[in-house]
Amino acid sequence: MLSDTSATGPVLTESLLQRLDVPGPRYTSYPTADRFVEAFGPAEYRQALEQRAQGATVGGTPPLSIYVHIPFCESVCYYCACNKVITKHHDRAEEYLQALEAEIALHVAVLGTGKAVSQLHFGGGSPTFLSDAEIERLMNVLRGAFRIAPGAELSIEVDPRTVSAERLQHLARLGFNRLSFGVQDFDTEVQKAVHRVQSYESVRELVLSARALGFESLNVDLIYGLPKQTPESFARTVERVGELRPDRIALYAYAHLPARFKPQRRIDPAQLPPPGHRVQMLGNAIQGFLGFGYTYIGMDHFALPGDSLAAAKRQGRLHRNFQGYSTQPDCDLIGLGVSAIGRMGPTYSQNAKTLPEYYDAVRQGQFPVVRGLALTRDDLVRRAVIMALMCQGRVEFESIELAHLVNMREYFATELEVLQPLVEMGLVEIEPDAIQVTPRGWYFVRGVAMVFDRHLRADQTRERFSRII
């Protein structure tokens, strides 16, 4: 049993954790990316961009968010489910940068130059595969095409094995103000089992350097459920991360899907921790981070009380996009690079997943979009409900009814009925005019949101998702 104190939050029993340990989406979007269709392509994406451009001439539009995908990594991490290209040939970056520049130019041709950007994120792969000069070149192109708004969040994912204090200083000079370190686990045996060896000491030195350089926020990514992990070994990792005291922590559950992700076939399933141990790892990690003074943001994210993400949660300003929880209001997202996902108005889009296909499209002067989705009215209503649950833990009926012209109790009669077992478990409260996720239920908010996912209910094929515990 996980204890219940004012400092550490609600009681989470192992039986409750096990009961709710089912596969489910992370809801960085609704509908989820597995619902995208090939009928949405370059022409449809261009139309969505043109509609934004027309809106800007009529009454102005909110700032953009930009995601840049850098797929290259020098070595493969066996757990990885990201779109990546494993190579030690750094000269391959040149062709990719040229393609990114061409894709950026395609956007500028439709939107115009100098559109405001409030959020920029480099992800991968490993963005620090690029040299200092290459990252600077890409940032210069982006700044020439768009206007980085004052106070914008500029973040980059960092592989601790590929950077030094000097490289962090260069990133700071380029304007990056947020770093995300991929740690996963500090146990040496676990690191060997997933082919990602990096010492605690090296990460600690980078964290200290980043603090000295004045980065506004540092995030550390962790994964539980990896091969050779035990509740005891992962507790040591949690302790060490707590000592590092990053501003934010992302704690992900490992999803072993070797049929979908080829690198995972190198993992021996016999070395994976049993479900009971996974549950212990999660429960102990939650208690550990709360004990270190972190605020539980939602799902699998923690932040120090002084971090902007924790402040956004306290003030009801939390949002969610394809990069996870964000302090930025809902805004259109341009996804640049191979496999990148974007959102433009009531549409989603995804670029080609292979380099040859991506290169071929931009060389022909076409947006490299290969699939996407134009949201229906029902999608928009359900997205509003799911995002309210995921971000605020509360759905006010009146706000949904006024925005979407529906009667909540009639429109979601089936869903309100399906929620009853969660009400009985103390995870949700159904008020006369609202749905409220309880403090205990906040740890299982994905499970609450899944009730309103019409697509998920329709096919019940959930094994393509990670488990919610």
Which amino acids are annotated as binding site for [4Fe-4S] cluster, given as ranges? 73, 77, 80
Burial per residue of 200-232, b for 16 or more beta-carbon CB atoms within 10 angstroms, e otherwise: beebeebbebbeebebebbbbbbbbbbbbbebe
How far apart CA 40 and CA 48 sit, in angstroms, is 11
Residue 408 has phi, psi (to 5 degrees) of: -55, -45
Residues annotated within the binding site for S-adenosyl-L-methionine are 67, 79-81, 124, 157, 184, 196, 221, 255, 341
Could you check whether the bond before residue 31 is cis, i.e. omega within 30 degrees of 0? yes
Residues annotated within the binding site are 67, 73, 77, 79-81, 124, 157, 184, 196, 221, 255, 341
Burial per residue of 137-165, b for 16 or more beta-carbon CB atoms within 10 angstroms, e otherwise: bbbeebeebbebeeebbbbbbbbbbebee
How far apart CA 434 and CA 9 sit, in angstroms, is 23
How far apart CA 211 and CA 254 sit, in angstroms, is 29
Residue 18 has phi, psi (to 5 degrees) of: -70, -40
How far apart CA 113 and CA 307 sit, in angstroms, is 33
DSSP string, 6-30: TTTBS-B-HHHHHHT--B----SSS
Residue 329, C-beta contacts closer than 8 angstroms, at least 6 positions apart: 62, 317, 319
Residue 208, C-beta contacts closer than 8 angstroms, at least 6 positions apart: none
Parallel/antiparallel/unpaired status of strands 333-336 and 64-70: parallel
CB 169 within 8 A of CB 114: no
